[in-house]
Amino acid sequence: MVTALLGVGLGLLLALLLLAAVLRRAAPPQGEGPGANCHAAVKHEAPRKAKPPTRARKDKPRQHSFAHRLLVTTLKGHSGAVSCLHFSGSGKYLASCADDRTVRLWSTRDFTAREHRCLRANVELDHAEFVRFSPDCRAFVVWLANGETIRVYKMTKKDDGNFTFNTASEDFPKKHKAPVINIGVAETGKFIMTASSDTTILIWNLRGEVLTSINTNQMNNAYAAVSPCGRFVASCGFTPDVKVWEVCFGKSGDFQDVTRAFELKGHAAGVYSFSFSNDSRRMATVSKDGTWKFWDTDVEYKKQQDPYLLLTGKCEVAELCHIALSPDAHVVAISCGTTITVYNTRRGEEEERFVGVHGQHIADLAFDITSRYLVSCGDRAIRVFHNAPGYRAVVEEMESMLRKATTKATRERLEQQITSAKKVLAAIYGKKQ
């Protein structure tokens, strides 16, 4: 009798468990994070390939924890892995995109505040892999993971300081035959670049027409970018060089041609990534050969002058490493796996090492336009660091200039700059230690 009852009970339990499992599987995907209609959502009704359902909330990995005295803050809000970070030209905003189907805009002024509010744009039926502001900050463009093309969002400022986001027009036509590895918008506003992992770089006008296609001839493209001055497009890949092209426009703004400008030659193996200083006069590269190099690219390439190699440093490398040169070119940050190492560019010495910054491989690394902060992403969090090595480099450079200064005015200016950089350093270390 008892065993029979037990049998029925067990059977019922099993049936219930089965039902629960079926129901769970049938639950709709949870693409929308908390506060799904936080600010402007964007309507885009075009039919698209359905996205595989995102992981249910309870299966999500626990938030990775990380602490460091140079960590300013962690920006939390994304409910999926953040893949790309970009600062606006004015330096006021940081854009981030993730596989949670959102693009978020963070105010850089809030980095040191307790709360970090963000504005959010939804990417309907898709997600953005890359995001870039337009130079005037009136739009941003994203690379759609499923749509495999560019979508432009117009940003309209409302009276209360909020933005609304609207897709500008049609998405660009689909042209790439291999996965896209980076996109860029020229600071001149004249073109958009997309690069895929084969050897193709496309140059587009802002209306979504292809102006030209570049074959990089590097076996494959590992990385490509537009220079901050908006004149050049560069690429690296399997071959040990970085190739730089000039994108030429006529006086009336019409596209003319893409011409070879210069090359960075000196690595002994493929180049994983590179980065420009803000005036495009310096570049940094990181290679499979286990070194990073710092270059002077302020050359008369039209007279066949080659860039100068200023420095070579050793570093840990892996397939997915990134490099970021600070806008003022004083320091370089290299990510390898979940570690970020910061070196000065004066002697190539290691200045800082941040270990286990994210739960997954670091996906992007960037300095803000003032060289004050370094930001990184990899999991759902965005880490913001003080660029203390950058301030130390400024102090060192100014002190060496001070020794050579001949006029009183110069000396005073340098002394002032040294004092203010030292004050920032004292605040960074004083507060956090």
Ligand X SMILES: *[C@@H]1O[C@H](CO)[C@@H](O)[C@H](O)[C@H]1NC(C)=O
Residues that bind ligand X (CB under 6 A): 39, 160-162, 278-279, 327-328, 370-371
**Taking the complex as a whole, how short is the minimal distance between the CB of residue 72 and ligand X, in angstroms?**
18
d(CA 423, CA 336): 32
**Taking the complex as a whole, how short is the minimal distance between the CB of residue 278 and ligand X, in angstroms?**
4
193-133-222-348 Cα dihedral, nearest 10 degrees:
130
**Taking the complex as a whole, how short is the minimal distance between the CB of residue 112 and ligand X, in angstroms?**
18
**Taking the complex as a whole, how short is the minimal distance between the CB of residue 117 and ligand X, in angstroms?**
7
Q: Which is nearer to ligand X, 196 or 371 (CB)?
A: 371
d(CA 237, CA 251): 33
Cβ-based neighbours of 76, under 8 Å, separated by 6 or more: 63, 116, 380, 381, 382
Check residue 190 and report its DSSP letter: S
**Taking the complex as a whole, how short is the minimal distance between the CB of residue 184 and ligand X, in angstroms?**
16
**Taking the complex as a whole, how short is the minimal distance between the CB of residue 27 and ligand X, in angstroms?**
29
Q: Which is nearer to ligand X, 180 or 418 (CB)?
A: 418
Q: Which is nearer to ligand X, 161 or 253 (CB)?
A: 161
Question: Any idea which residue has 């005015």 for tokens?
Answer: 409
Number of Cβ within a 10 Å radius of residue 138: 12
* Sign for the pseudo-dihedral over CA of 54, 58, 59, 61: positive
**Taking the complex as a whole, how short is the minimal distance between the CB of residue 279 and ligand X, in angstroms?**
4
Q: Which is nearer to ligand X, 99 or 328 (CB)?
A: 328
Question: Any idea which residue has 């913001």 for tokens?
Answer: 384
d(CA 341, CA 321): 11
Q: Which is nearer to ligand X, 13 or 36 (CB)?
A: 36
Number of Cβ within a 10 Å radius of residue 282: 24
Q: Which is nearer to ligand X, 39 or 127 (CB)?
A: 39
Q: Which is nearer to ligand X, 258 or 393 (CB)?
A: 393
Cβ-based neighbours of 162, under 8 Å, separated by 6 or more: 39, 40, 119
Element (H, E) at 23: helix 2-26
**Taking the complex as a whole, how short is the minimal distance between the CB of residue 367 and ligand X, in angstroms?**
9
- What tokens does 161 get? 């300081």
Q: Which is nearer to ligand X, 54 or 387 (CB)?
A: 387
Nearest partner of 83 among 322, 286, 283, judged by Cα: 322
